[in-house]
Amino acid sequence: MSTSVDPRTPVLVGVGQHAERVDDPDYRGLSAVGLAAEAARRALGDSGGTGVSAAIDTIAAIRQFEISTPIGFAPLGRSTNVARSIARDIGADPARAILNVTGGQGPQHLVSELGDTIARGEAEVVLLVGSEAISTARHFAGADDKPDFSDDPGGTVEDRGYGLRGIVTLPQVRHGLVDATSQYALLEHARRARLGLDRAAYARSMGELFGPFTQVAAANPLSAAPTERTPDELVTVTDRNRMVADPFPKFLIARDQVNQAAAVLLMSVAAAQRLGVPEDRWVFVHGRADAAERSIIDRPDLGASPAATLALQHALEVAGITSDDLAHLDLYSCYPIAVSAACDGLGLAADDPRGLTVTGGLPFFGGAGNNYSMHAIAEIVDRVRATPGSYGLVGANGGILSKYSAGVYATTPRPWPSSDAAALQARLDAVAPAATTSTPDGWATIETYTVKHERHGMTGIVVGRLEPDGARFLASTVPGDDDVVGLLTGDAEPLGSRVFVRSFGYGNRVTLTQERADELLPRPTPVLRDDYEHVSVRRDGRVLEITLDRPAVRNALHAESHVELEQVLDAYFADPDLWAAIITGAGEDAFCAGNDLTATSTTGGGFPWFPDSGFGGITSRREMHKPVIAAVNGVAMGGGFEIVLACHLAVADESARFALPEVKVGLFAAAGGVVRLPRAVPEKIAHELILTGRSIPADEALRLGLVSRVVPKGGALEAARELAAEIVAVSPTSVRLSLEAMEQTRGLADPVEAARLETDAMDQLLISEDTLEGVMAFAEKRTPQWRNR
C-alpha cells in the first residue's frame, strides 16, 4: 500500500482521549493542559511509531471555553500559551504553535486545513489537541486551597482570535440572546413551524432523537453523564430536568461540566514511513468541506442549516460515496436541531440503525467545549480501523449552526482530496438573505420564539415578521408584562400569532395589542416641557435654544439624556412656529464630552444606548427639515463632535476642540463620525482624525469647514443666536425645501446631474403661500410676512 500513495499525502496515524470525573476514585484534578497532555501521549502511543514527539513540527490547540470570549475567566489560572504548554509536557518543541478560533467546527476544520499544509510540503507531523477542565474548575470554586493552573511556557503562538464575528451581535445582546440555548431554541421552533408539528409532538421527536444517544453514552467509559434515559425522561420537565429555554429542558442541552481531552496525530505518508508507523494505523481523509452560515437574523430559513447540508453533501461527493455507504456517523449534537438539521439535509432518519453518534453526544458524553469533535474523530478513526474499508463521517458545528466542517474517513488509501471552500461558500452566499429591520413598529406575526426560564422569572424572545412587508425583526417582552409570555407558554399555538411591536434604542418590545403598547410603552406627545432633568430649553420667538445640562461630567450624555434630547427635538420639528434651533452645552468648558461611559442603565443589556434617532437624539434622525445650529463652547469629543457633524450649521468659540477619540478606548465613532467626517473634510484628513483620535482646535476646524465661524471665548451662543436670527428672517418654507433638496441630491457626485434631478421641492414652492408672499413683498418693497405654509 505504501508505494502507491504520494509521500506527501496526509494520514491520521494516532488518536487519544482522556477524561476524569470528580467522583472517580482516582480523580487527579488535572488542569486543561494536563488533560490535553494525557490525550496527546495516548495519540502518540496509538501511532506505534518511534521518536514521534520530537518530530512534531506543528501543534494546534483548541481554545478552551474560559478563553473563548473577551470576557472569559479562568478561576484557577491558565496558560499564556496553551499549545506550547502541552508541547513542553509531552517533550515536543514544534516550530509552529496555533491557538484556534472559537467554535466546535475547529477540530475537523484543522484536519482539513493542516492536511493541506502537509500536502503542500509545508509541514510533516502535526498534533491537534484540545481539552476542558470545567468540572474541576467548578469543583474547586469554593475551596480554600485551590490549585493554580497558571503557566507561562514562553515561545511564539499563532493566536487566531475568537472568530465570533456574526455570531455575537449587539442586537442579540439587547434582546437577551447572549446564550446559545436561547438562540438554538429559536431555530428549533422555526423547524417545528416548517414541519407543522404541535409542541407535544415536537418534544416527543426530540426525545426520540436523543434517546439512542444516551445508550451510546452509557456504554462509553469516557462519558460525563453515562446514564441511559428514555425519550419521555429527556423531555418531561421535572425539578432535575428543569426548563431552560423553551423547548429545551436541561437534559437536551450540551453538558459543559466535563473534564475531557482528545488529540489527533496527522502526518505525511513519508513521515509515517520514516517514523515506523504501521500501515494498519493509517486512516485517510476521503472527503472534506467547510461552510459558514449568515448571522441568525439574516437566514432565509431559521429552521434549516444550508451550511451543514452543503458541507456534508460536498464531503460525501468528494469521497465519491453517498450517505448510504457510511458505516459510522457522528453528527454534532449540542442541541437536537444540530442533529436534525443535518439529517434533514442528508435525508437521514432520526432512528437510523447505524446511529447518529459514536460518542454519546454532547448532552450525555459531554460537550467538551470547542473540542468535542476531536473526540468524534478519535472514535471514528478507531471504528474504521476496526472495519477496514468502511467509511465514517464527522459533522462538526460551531456557533449557532454558524460554521460547519465535515470529514469522511476510511482506511482505504486515496490521494489527499481537494476542496474549493471559496466556491462552496459562494453557492451559499448567492442565496438572498431575509429582509430585516432593526426598527420595527406596528403589527406583526410570530415566526419563531423562545421563553427563557430564569431565577427572576420568564422572558419571551420573538422573531417576528412585520405586516404587510414581511421584514423580519428581533424583539423581547416587556418586563412585568405576562401577556405575551402567557401566549408563548399557553395551550394555544404561538407560531403565526399576531403581536404588536415597538422599537426603542435599547431594543424592540412586543405586546399583544397596540393598546397594551400604549399603556406600557407610551410614545410621548411631541410638546416642549419645562421639567427636563438633563437638558434645559429656552424659547425665544421662532428660535429654540437647547442646552446640554450635565456640567459635572462635561455634558457627557447617558441614556436618559439621549431620550430627553430626542423628545425636545421631536417637539421642535413638530412645532410650525419654531424655525431654528440651537444646541449648546452648559458652562464654558465643554459643549459635550461624548458618551458617559460611567453611567449604567437597566435596559439595553447593560450597554450604553441611545434612541433610534441617534446620539443626542440627532445623529440618526432621518428628517431634519428645519435648521439646527451647534454652538460649540469648549470641547466636542466623540459623540459631542458627532452631534456637531449632524447639525446643519456650527459656530465655535476659540476654546473649542474637536476629536473622535474612540479608538483610544477600544471603540470607534459609531454614531455617525466614521460616516460623516470623511464626507465633510478631505478623506486623508478624516482618516487621520478617526484613526489617531487627534483633537483639533477651533481655527483648524474653521479651515476644514467644520464650523462657519470662530468667535472669542464665551461668544459661541451669541454668535449662534445671530445666525439663527438671519435664518428666521427669511422664508421658512424656502429653508425647509432647500434642506430637502440638498439631502435628496447628496449622493450624486456629478453637480449637473444633481442640478437636473427632479425633486418635488419646486412643486411645493409653486403652491406655497410663502412664495407668493415673497414675490409680492419684493414687488411692493415691503418686509415679507412669512406664514410657513
Alpha-carbon distance of 657 to 591, in angstroms, equals 9
Q: What is the 3-state secondary structure (H, E, C) of 419-478?
A: CCHHHHHHHHHCCCCCCECCCCCEEEEEEEEEEEEECCEEEEEEEEEECCCCCEEEEEEC
Alpha-carbon distance of 380 to 645, in angstroms, equals 60
Max CA separation in the chain (angstroms) = 107
Catalytic residue among 545, 642, 743, 769: 642
Kindly state the helix (H) or strand (E) to which residue 654 belongs, with its residue range: none
Residue 281 gets the label, from left (phi > 0), alpha (psi -120 to 50) or beta, of: alpha
Q: Which residues pair with 17 in a beta bridge?
A: 262
What are the residues whose beta carbons fall under 8 Å from the beta carbon of 303, sequence distance 6 or more? 187, 188, 189, 190, 191, 192, 193, 194, 195, 337, 341, 448
Cell numbers that stand for 580 in this block? 431654528
Alpha-carbon distance of 234 to 783, in angstroms, equals 83
Catalytic residue among 20, 188, 545, 662: 662
Amino acid at position 96, single letter: R
Kindly state the helix (H) or strand (E) to which residue 748 belongs, with its residue range: none
Query: Is 662 tagged catalytic?
Result: yes
Radius of gyration of the chain (CA): 32
Instruction: Decide if 607 contacts 173 (C-beta within 8 A).
Output: yes
Instruction: Decide if 153 contacts 91 (C-beta within 8 A).
Output: no
- Residue 536 CB neighbour total at 10 angstroms: 15
Closest among 651, 669, 652, 649 to 660, alpha carbons compared: 669
- Residue 467 CB neighbour total at 10 angstroms: 12
Alpha-carbon distance of 589 to 201, in angstroms, equals 66
Alpha-carbon distance of 396 to 374, in angstroms, equals 9
Alpha-carbon distance of 505 to 682, in angstroms, equals 32
Closest among 449, 543, 552, 452 to 501, alpha carbons compared: 449
What are the residues whose beta carbons fall under 8 Å from the beta carbon of 146, sequence distance 6 or more? 75, 76, 140
DSSP-based three-state secondary structure for 16: strand
- CA–chain centroid gap for 659, Å, is 29
Instruction: Decide if 217 contacts 225 (C-beta within 8 A).
Output: yes
Q: Which residues pair with 651 in a beta bridge?
A: 631, 709
Alpha-carbon distance of 716 to 596, in angstroms, equals 24
Instruction: Decide if 129 contacts 14 (C-beta within 8 A).
Output: no
Alpha-carbon distance of 731 to 740, in angstroms, equals 14
Q: State the virtual CA torsion across 27, 31, 33, 36 in degrees, nearest 10.
A: 30
Cell numbers that stand for 550 in this block? 450635565
Alpha-carbon distance of 506 to 173, in angstroms, equals 10
Q: What are phi and psi of 347, to 5 degrees?
A: 75, 30
Q: What are phi and psi of 734, to 5 degrees?
A: -65, -40
Query: Is 228 tagged catalytic?
Result: no
Cell numbers that stand for 511 in this block? 405586546
Instruction: Decide if 180 contacts 332 (C-beta within 8 A).
Output: no
**Hey, which residues are catalytic here?**
642, 662
